[in-house]
Amino acid sequence: MSGTQNIIYGLIILLLAFSIRRFLLFRSVRQYSPAEAAARMSNGKGVILPDVRTAAERSDRLIQGSVHIPLHELPRRIGELEKYRDSEIICYCRSGNRSLSAVATLRKHGFKSGNLQGGIVEWNFSGHK
For range 23-47, the mean pLDDT: 80
Lowest mean pLDDT among 9-13, 49-53, 117-121: 9-13
Among the listed residues 87, 101, 88, 15, the one whose alpha carbon sits nearest the alpha carbon of residue 53: 101
Those residues with Cβ within 8 angstroms of residue 124's Cβ, 6 or more apart along the chain or in another chain:
61
Those residues with Cβ within 8 angstroms of residue 57's Cβ, 6 or more apart along the chain or in another chain:
94
Higher-confidence position of 19 and 67 = 67
Question: Given a cut of 70, is residue 25 above it in pLDDT?
Answer: no
Domain 30-125: what homologous superfamily? Rhodanese-like domain (3.40.250.10)
In this structure, the number of other CB atoms found within 10 A of the CB of residue 42 comes to: 9
β-partners of residue 50 are 67
For range 8-30, the mean pLDDT: 75
For range 38-51, the mean pLDDT: 83
Q: What is the pLDDT of residue 58?
A: 94
